[in-house]
Structure 1
């Protein structure tokens, strides 16, 4: 596995975890996923990216990864023994579109809190895996979250229904086309998360903190 990946974790003891009863309810009795779409304002973010020479897609993946990694509720998953774990860090598992073939590849680029580092890694991976399609990547770590975009349309809501056993805990983040509204540039962003690990409060905090980061990103 790529040395830049860091799949270290802590096993969660359900009997002592303060969210244990809630987790058990939404896993054993009522498995459900929450989805929320919020319009975010990205004018300042775009201006700083343009001034610094960064591309929007990897920069947006970086911003989302920053906020998700800051909170435990977005870093739960299962290890290879089926135990509930809290990952030390989660990596973006993102869709890379091939417009000439109208296909996509799913890639993972190791996250870094430094945008310049992540942006460089992203461009290197895009070149390294240019020939891949769909799910051809074999070196996928277990500590990932799903992220993609629909840059062709500005939508009002987006739901990703995952028809597994109902135990997929990682966040699913999607955004659409950004458009001008007067002096503002609006981007619709959606987050799906299993109710076993997060509540409406946690979804709301994600969007509030992401907006704060987009308003004042640490871009050199």
Structure 2
């Protein structure tokens, strides 16, 4: 059984910040950015691979680089980090106009992840329940897709969300502008887990992955 690893509070530089935004001013924040996916889409076309698994993998790769985006609470409420987190994501059933939430094990090798996740997506496309795989593991973070509309701002209001320390991502419809293709990406973050500096760095990691998609194979 995988358990989150407790953080050494004596040496943790963000201890005071964590306590403040967990206890005194519990809050989350959201940021929406545009990501240039022109190069990524071209690489996927050449390789014959699917866009949604690639988007999910790039986000998961960036998330797993940084401990602040793998945070959890132990059973006694102490801050900890998962050694690895896996993406959970939404899949739309067009016939029912409902969606399912499924997850796929993260793999640092994109091709391996792509094949596994493509199978998960294909099976879930006809799901008639919200969680066809059963209860989600505790060490998953959420990605949802809103491909029907382009947006410039998106946020979630989560009742009791001050215990949810893992980030939440929402992908919007691509838009073409001046010969480039852009993807809106909303990131919801608990302030106890990460400050604006950390989230900006996460976004930069995602931008770099999508601008240099040699990992597509």
TM interval, short-chain normalised: over 0.9
Deviation at 1:61, TM superposition (A): 0.3
Alignment counterpart, residue 48 of structure 2, candidates 53, 58, 70:
53
Deviation at 1:81, TM superposition (A): 5.0
Match of 1:169 in 2: 165
Counterpart mapping for 1:22-171 below 5 A: 22-80=17-75, 82-129=77-124, 130-164=126-160, 166-171=162-167
Q: How far apart, in 2, do the equivalents of 1:184 and 1:137 lie?
A: 37
The answer for unaligned runs of 5 or more in structure 2 is none
Q: How far apart, in 2, do the equivalents of 1:48 and 1:165 lie?
A: 37
The structure-2 alpha-carbon separation of the partners of 1:114 and 1:138, relative to structure 1 and needing over 3 Å to count, comes to: same
- 8 Å Cα contact 2:6-2:81 kept in structure 1: yes
Q: How far apart, in 1, do the equivalents of 2:75 and 2:17 lie?
A: 23
Q: How far apart, in 2, do the equivalents of 1:105 and 1:180 lie?
A: 29
Q: How far apart, in 2, do the equivalents of 1:81 and 1:141 lie?
A: 19
Q: How far apart, in 1, do the equivalents of 2:52 and 2:175 lie?
A: 15
Match of 2:216 in 1: 219
The answer for unaligned runs of 5 or more in structure 1 is 1-5
Deviation at 1:83, TM superposition (A): 3.8
The structure-2 alpha-carbon separation of the partners of 1:127 and 1:39, relative to structure 1 and needing over 3 Å to count, comes to: closer
Deviation at 1:108, TM superposition (A): 0.9
User: What is the TM-score when the length of structure 2 is the normalising length?
Assistant: 0.93
The structure-2 alpha-carbon separation of the partners of 1:92 and 1:132, relative to structure 1 and needing over 3 Å to count, comes to: farther
Aligned to 1:113, the other structure's residue is in SS state: coil
Q: How far apart, in 2, do the equivalents of 1:165 and 1:215 lie?
A: 33
- 8 Å Cα contact 1:7-1:142 kept in structure 2: no
Aligned to 1:198, the other structure's residue is in SS state: coil
1:22-57 CA-to-partner distances (Å, cap 9, x unmatched) read 101001100111111111111100000011111111
Q: How far apart, in 2, do the equivalents of 1:8 and 1:166 lie?
A: 20
Deviation at 1:102, TM superposition (A): 0.5
Task: Note the aligned Cα RMSD (angstroms).
Answer: 1.7
Q: How far apart, in 2, do the equivalents of 1:48 and 1:182 lie?
A: 19
- 8 Å Cα contact 1:79-1:142 kept in structure 2: no
User: What is the TM-score when the length of structure 1 is the normalising length?
Assistant: 0.92
Match of 1:20 in 2: 15
1:75-102 CA-to-partner distances (Å, cap 9, x unmatched) read 0012455443200011111111111110
Aligned to 1:166, the other structure's residue is in SS state: helix
Aligned to 1:100, the other structure's residue is in SS state: coil
The structure-2 alpha-carbon separation of the partners of 1:132 and 1:88, relative to structure 1 and needing over 3 Å to count, comes to: farther
